[in-house]
Amino acid sequence: MKLLLTSGGINNPSIENALLELLGKPFSECNALVVPTATYAHPHAGPRQAWKTVSGNEHRSALVGFDWKTIGILELTALPSLGEDRWLPLLRETDVLLVDGGDSAYLCHWVRESGLADVLPTLPDLVWVGVSAGSMVATPRTGMDFITWHPENGDRMLGWVDFSICPHIAEPGQPGNTMEEAEEWAAGIEGPAYAVDDQTAFKVVDGKVEIVSEGTWKLLHA
């Protein structure tokens, strides 16, 4: 699996080009599945946000508004009651997963519980595009500041990459996290920690990390 870990979606030409490189073909030849699951458990997301993302009405973090060949939904909470034979063939024909943000602990739980975590390593060409929590779930941990769902279970994530991410860096007074807040957050994180704004993404192929940005990012500690 290849990763494109964004903070605010596919929202500038550099991030869009990075996605095209990962896919190796135009959007119009790619089968896409949206994963809305993380939205359900976040206090600032919920049912309305799930609709906005899936229907392409979320303009701050575009995922759906591209010319995909096909688009469907992979609802992680539904998978255990379906059985693998219903969804695995679909996933094998899928080029890109568009994983929306929300609560990373809830998403992490369902990536494991659904069986997706076991299957993804067998799909080398599949591209995982994360937005916010959809990206943070790929890291070793998020820090407790970002956990709202069952905080007693801690902040451990899937660890597909070896660095943590503080997304949505913004100027003081703007929606998001200030660089000062990110520095405080990073003090509690072991291992590399980055702060990125919504114009920045990480492209990860075979363990090689490349930062794609038209905005601001900072390696807070290595």
Partner 1 sequence: MKLLLTSAGVKNATIQDALVDLLGKPIAESDALCIPTGSWGHNGFAGAWRFIAGQSPLNMTNLGWNSVAVLELTALPTMDKEKWVAAVQGADVLLANGGDACYIAHHMRLSGMDELVPRLDNVWVGLSAGSMVMTPRIGKDFMSWQPPSGSDETLGIVDFSIFPHVDHPDLPENTMAEAERWASELGNPAYAIDDDTAIKVVDGNVELVTEGNWRKLD
Based on CB atoms, which residue is closest to partner 1, 29 or 51?
51
Stretch near partner 1 under the rule CB under 8 A, chosen from 10-18, 82-90, 119-127, 160-168:
82-90
CB of 75 to partner 1, least distance (A): 6
| Separation between Cα atoms, residue 61 and residue 131, nearest integer Å | 7
| Separation between Cα atoms, residue 51 and residue 39, nearest integer Å | 10
List the x/- string, 198-217, binding to partner 1 by CB under 8 A: --------------------
List the x/- string, 18-57, binding to partner 1 by CB under 8 A: ---------------xx-xx--xx----xxx-xx--xxx-
Query: Which of 24, 26, 72, 159 lies at the binding interface for partner 1 (CB under 8 A)?
Result: 72
* DSSP track, 140-191: SB--GGG--S-GGG-SB---SSS-EEE--B--TTSSSB-HHHHHHHHHT--S
| Separation between Cα atoms, residue 172 and residue 95, nearest integer Å | 38
* DSSP track, 10-30: S-SHHHHHHHHHHHTS-GGG-
List the x/- string, 113-152, binding to partner 1 by CB under 8 A: ----------------------------------------
Query: Which of 20, 78, 170, 209 lies at the binding interface for partner 1 (CB under 8 A)?
Result: 78
Q: Pairing between strand 208-213 and 200-205?
A: antiparallel
87 near partner 1 (CB under 8 A):
yes
CB of 61 to partner 1, least distance (A): 16
Based on CB atoms, which residue is closest to partner 1, 18 or 33?
33
Report which of 1, 9, 116 is spatially closest to residue 63, judged by C-alpha positions. Answer: 9
Stretch near partner 1 under the rule CB under 8 A, chosen from 8-16, 74-82, 155-163, 170-178:
74-82
> Rounded to 5 degrees, what angle do the CA atoms 104, 72, 61 make?
50
| Separation between Cα atoms, residue 122 and residue 68, nearest integer Å | 23
Residue ranges binding partner 1 (CB under 8 A): 33-34, 36-37, 40-41, 46-48, 50-51, 54-56, 64, 70-75, 77-78, 81-82, 86-87, 90, 106, 109-110
